[in-house]
Structure 1
Amino acid sequence: MTITIFEKPSGCFGCKKTKELFDAAGVQFVTVDITTNDQALAYVTDELGYSQAPVVVYAKDGSEDHWSGLNPTKISQVIALDGAK
């Protein structure tokens, strides 16, 4: 499974909390700063259609899902998927 969190590292409560929840569960992820990476910003706004950080994209076994904002329900689902290796 791969998890990418597109974030605004400064002052984004949802970004910080999302990372904390994954960290607490021992789930690895990669972060991308959308305030310094124009390609990443274009991807989350133009391709995925989001305007709120964080944007979480995860892929497992050829399928992909994503969401925007702090979403504890989705985070719990991904944590459960990570445990079902």
Structure 2
Amino acid sequence: MITVYTTGSGCVQCRMTKQVMTSAGLEFADVDLTDPVNAVARDYVTDDLGYSQAPVVVVDENDHWSGFRPDLIDRLAQRLGQRHG
């Protein structure tokens, strides 16, 4: 399961990432790191993965990135067979 860690609706890059992923047919879980209930997720993103900028997209333990990266979203969609051409 792909997870997109965001910093809420005010984050333009987060909104754009989710929009492009949805358009590409990719399903994902959306985790708002500003919600106190997600403190463990926030620690995972910052301490374990080392990111300090949202959004953070995690496909698996070896495939993750930070920021709005339509190139990587497209690559992922092609790899998963969601987008052709």
TM-score normalised per structure 2: 0.87
State whether residues 9 and 15 of structure 2, in contact with CA within 8 Å, keep that contact through their aligned partners in structure 1.
Answer: no
Select 1:74's aligned residue among 72, 79, 83: 72
Stretches of structure 1 that go unaligned for 5 or more consecutive residues are: none
Aligned match of 1:11: 10
Structure 1 stretches of 4+ with a deviation exceeding 4 A read none
Give, as a single letter, the amino acid of the residue that structure 2 aligns with 1:49. G
Aligned match of 1:31: 30
Select 1:83's aligned residue among 55, 62, 81: 81
Stretches of structure 2 that go unaligned for 5 or more consecutive residues are: none
Deviations 1:13-55 (A, max 9, x none): 1110011011111111111111111111100000000000000
Aligned match of 1:49: 50
CA deviation after TM superposition for structure 1 residue 64, in Å: 3.2
More moved, 73-82 vs 40-49: 73-82
State whether residues 24 and 74 of structure 2, in contact with CA within 8 Å, keep that contact through their aligned partners in structure 1.
Answer: no
Q: Give the paired residue count.
A: 80
Aligned to 1:56, what secondary structure does the other structure show? strand
Distance of 1:13 and 1:68 partners within structure 2: 13
Percent identity (aligned): 47
| Cα RMSD (Å) | 1.4
